[in-house]
A and B are shown apart, each in its own frame.
Chain A
Amino acid sequence: MIALLLAGCAAPEGGDTAAKTAPTCDPLDVTLTQEWVEGALPNDSSVEGTQPGVAIGDLDGDGWLDVFMAYAGGSMALRNDGSGGLLESGFTADGGALPFGEAVALADIDGDGDLDAHLGRWRAEDLLLVNDGAGAFTTVTLAGSEGATFSGSFADADADGDLDLFVAAGAVDMSFESIRDGLQVGDPNLLYLRGDDGAYALAEGAMPEDTRYGITFQGAWVDAEDDGDLDLYVANDGGPYLEPNHLLLNDGAAHFTKATACFCDLTMFAMGVAVGDADGTGTPDLYVTDVGGPNLLLAQGDGTYVDATAASGAAIPPEPTSMVSWGTSAVDIDADQDLDLVVTFGRSGSNFIGAADVNPDWVDGDEQPDVILLNGGDGHFTRATGLGFADPERTRSMAVGDLDRDGRPDLVTAGKHFLRAWRTSGGCGPGVTVALDAGPLDRHGIGARVTTEVAGVVTHQWMLPSGTGASNAPELYFGLGGAAAAERVTVRWVDGAETVVEGVAAGSVLTIPR
């Protein structure tokens, strides 16, 4: 029996209720609502040379999404006030302050119904933060993770029903000159498998050795071959000198081999990957950020890709105001039933662009506004203008989540040195919010494809919340294009099984169990 939770308008206690009448499409805006800058951020230790991560999720089980910022000065958790505002949480780790970190990913790793965290760190071993359900965490050291973790991402790599962890690593001792000269060796990327005892253990030999030592900003899970397991797309910085991006193909049991003809092993300065269906074909495309302009790779569904950056309007030309892109996410921000792209930008601030000498015309401008590319519904993108979301500062990571439960995905960004919350309004919202429950130890259905059908328009998304040093709320936000309801929502779980829900009203928050 399918236990289906349908809430008319999300409406956790004290929350807004979305309109029940048929919504219309209004001008989109994404507006800054709150910010924390230096002075308001923890300063327990030096933040020099580091970058923050951010994750969204309901950490205290009240139905409202909270925010976790991984920060070198000490991490910070913010509690949702029940209306979308963020407050000091008082959340603790081992009874004290939250430890420092540079990357965070939230997931219910022990199946107890609350969100735990992986805290990636550069100058210490990573931590797992086990939640008691109310924001009191107990830390567990992730043995062997001394490298400079840029991102952690959870998924069931070995198909045993629980969540495993890929750790993308840069290098603790990194110099841009050594990258340029090809001398840099990255700290190894790591795969941890969760055992039956709940412990995370390094999976030695699971990944090809010659793919592990790049400067890896993110490993994105994606079923590239549509064969019922999750592969890994590894986004590597310093590609022209070190390692290109790699697609690691999973045999279904967490044994990975390097794809040799995916046409996706771009040689670039990759900083992040968004997975989404850019062209409406039902296959998971990749948008990869870079120095000099991101790339859009259209998935063929067989593990190969076609670059459509220039043809799709997804190109962002390398200007001093748009040179270095970082965390990115595919989200239907205007709720018009297609996947838009949110792309953070920010000055690198290092000497790398000059030192690398890749292109003498490249200028790492002081002000590089974040960008939203809106999908026209046919896989062609235009750069949104006039939005509040054009932060020119040094943004590094971002996360998506409907903080105010108005049926529209909001954004949180983190950078040097700030945390900012952005409220989305207008568009064709409210849409439908979908969460999944794939079983006792995979409470988020990570990797599943969810499809909505509205008036003949089919939209696909995947439950793949990981970002660069970040994770989105484990929810998917489907715009309905102004319609009152989705006729059908279909979940195709990673192994191919399907669950179908008929008739879901706009504004609903829906948890679909397997």
Chain B
Amino acid sequence: MRAPRRRLIPAVALLAACAAPDGKPPADDTAAVVTCDALVITLTEEWLDADLPNVADRSHTPAGVALGDIDGDGWLDALMAYGGGATALRNDGTGRLVLAPEWAAPDAPMPQAAAAAILDVDGDSDIDLYLGRDGGFEDELYYNDGAEGFTRVIVAGSTSATSTGAFADLDGDTDLDYFLASTTTNTEGAEVVAGSASGDGVMLFLQEEGGTFVDATDRLPQDIRFGWTFQGSPLDADADGDLDIYMANDFGAWLGPNRLLLNDGAANFTVAEDCACELEMFGMGAAVGDANGDAAPDLYVTDLGGPNLLVNDGTGAFYDATLALGADIPFSESSLTSWGVTFVDLDQNAWPDLAVTYGQLGQPEIVEQIDGGAGWVDGELQPDVLLLGGPDGFAQVDVGWNDPSRTRAVAVGDLDRDGRPDLVTAGKYFLRQWHTDGGCAPGVRVTLEGGGQNRHGIGARVQVDVGDRVVTQWMLPSTTASMSAPELYFGLGGAAGTPRVSVLWPDGATDAVTDVAAGETVVFTQ
């Protein structure tokens, strides 16, 4: 006997004229502009070491950044996880981020942190903050109490060296749980290579009533926990209606390859045996997107020596299409080590692009040991890479997003509300804000108000009809150490609109709106 079916809950679609927060003209004013211009990405703001908090030693902790509308004013704010101390940044209402270190923690500085997220964790319709911490510290949540400010809550037991906290409903009760990807607190990569160390162990936390998280790590296969895991990416790899986890593991040859953990729907995970996705690599990040247009979630996994594109055949079995789809980035002194990565249609041509951060590892003694004779050189200057997608696959371009410094993380969000997704990057030791211009904008922005406590509809699939194709994205905003804004940006390739936008909610219910003009925002409510 199975459980009773879930009901299809009628959804209401709200069409707004491009959010139009105060001070900005509604995007309908630009809706008629549907030509495709050259894509340009420009650095608009940056915060360097001296600008950022310095309450702790930041040298061993990578940086992360999350985007989200913390104060509900319609503009995306940011939260930076940083070894010297985390900090919030407030959007000034023009798209510019302004440091606001006391915003969520007026009484004491935020602590050092390795990972960040901005989302409604407890499903009470306001935005909370998450800081993942390494160094033996437990992760922290900052629950939003409205006018009362934020209440700091420790996630008991989360002492692993958090590299990424990925939130999703993993046990099917609609509230958000999280997978804690972990590297290690007390060892160096050289010790791993020498065979004398392993990771602290990935963890699983399930949310209980009231926003309390309970350690459920015993639901993970124990023998694969102790790699050096930079990111655990949720995705429904096997199309069974629940979110699985793809683990991107560093030092694969020593600590085990990447793994796909299959969910039974109740957050009991087993290792996929036939996914053909267990790459033995130096996995740093895994982006989820539809690279080949078949509506099945594919993976782009960063690495030392060059990322890999794994295409899902729709059943949870993958094949490597890195070369076939032009997604290879040959290694060189200036492109050896890739980190945080995301699918995003930056040029809004209705094909997903890939924003791939690069940065010097900074440990030449390790690179010399692990390059397998390939002649790897961990160059001091390794520019970030943008792969633009199109009907023939991907092609590398330089449109200004080419920061050569040690970038570690990337998040996506339309900070200036011009209808184009912008980027924010974090690294050693900086935070940078990038403005996207040109392309085939405007497109369509989609946000979700999911059912139950999954207020962002995390895990939902959204599709937009563009010409004779259907473009697919998923509300899966987690990136390495970071989180993109819980919004989806669909380019329309210069079209004046789309005949339909549809959503497939995590519980299998569907909804759709028709005849959406370019520049509009679709809000689906379950």
Contact = CB atoms under 8 A, between A and B. Distances in A.
A and B are interacting partners? yes
A308 interface: yes
A185 to B, nearest CB: 22
B5 A313 contact: no
Interface in B1-38: 1-6, 8
B4 A311 contact: no
A251 interface: no
Interface in A477-491: 481-483
A31 interface: no
Interface residues of B, number: 34
Nearest to A314: B239
A457 B512 contact: no
Given A336-B2, A457-B2, A310 B512 contact: no
Contact of B314 (A281, A310, A376, A382): A310
Contacts of B463: 306-307
Interface in B100-141: none
Contact of B468 (A267, A293, A306): A267
B410 interface: no
Contact of A308 (B6, B8, B510): B510
Contacts of A482: 1
Given A263-B500, A279-B508, A307 B5 contact: no
Contacts of A263: 465, 499-500, 502, 512
Counting chain A residues whose Cβ lies within 8 A of the other chain, the interface size class is: 35 or more
Contacts of B363: none
Interface in B489-526: 499-500, 502, 504, 508-510, 512, 514
Interface in A294-308: 298, 300, 304, 306-308
A317 B316 CA distance: 11
B2 A337 contact: yes
Contacts of A338: 2
A315 B5 contact: no
Contact of A458 (B5, B313, B468): B5
A261 B500 contact: yes
Given A377-B2, A378-B241, A298 B295 contact: no
A381 B463 CA distance: 21
A181 B239 CA distance: 36
Contact of A309 (B236, B314, B468, B508): B314
B315 interface: yes
A307 B465 CA distance: 11
A455 B1 contact: yes
Given A261-B499, A261-B514, A315 B296 contact: yes
A378 B5 contact: yes
B311 to A, nearest CB: 11
A424 B463 CA distance: 38
A101 B504 CA distance: 43
B240 A380 contact: yes
A378 B514 CA distance: 26
Contacts of A483: 1
A147 interface: no
Interface in B261-291: none
Interface in B291-322: 294-296, 313-315, 317
A312 interface: yes
A295 to B, nearest CB: 10
Nearest to A383: B315
B406 interface: no
Contact of B510 (A306, A315, A337): A306
Nearest to B507: A378
B416 interface: no
B461 interface: yes
Contacts of A481: 1-2
Nearest to A308: B504
Nearest to A382: B240
Contact of A313 (B3, B8, B240, B468): B240
Nearest to A319: B313
Residue of A281, A310, A458 with most partner-chain B CB within 10 A = A310
Contact of A307 (B3, B8, B295, B509): B295
Contact of B5 (A280, A304, A309, A317): A280
Contacts of A306: 463, 502, 504, 510, 512
B5 A377 contact: yes
A280 B514 CA distance: 24
Contacts of A281: 8, 509
Contacts of B499: 261, 263
Residue of B3, B236, B241, B499 with most partner-chain A CB within 10 A = B241
B276 to A, nearest CB: 12
B506 to A, nearest CB: 10
A456 interface: yes
Nearest to A317: B313
A481 B1 CA distance: 6
B470 interface: yes
A380 B2 contact: no
Q: What 8 pairs between A and B have smallest CB-CB spacing?
A: A315-B314, A313-B239, A377-B2, A310-B295, A310-B296, A280-B5, A317-B313, A380-B241
5 contacts: A267-B468, A280-B5, A306-B504, A309-B295, A483-B1
Interface of B: 1-6, 8, 236, 238-241, 294-296, 313-315, 317, 461, 463, 465, 468, 470, 472, 499-500, 502, 504, 508-510, 512, 514
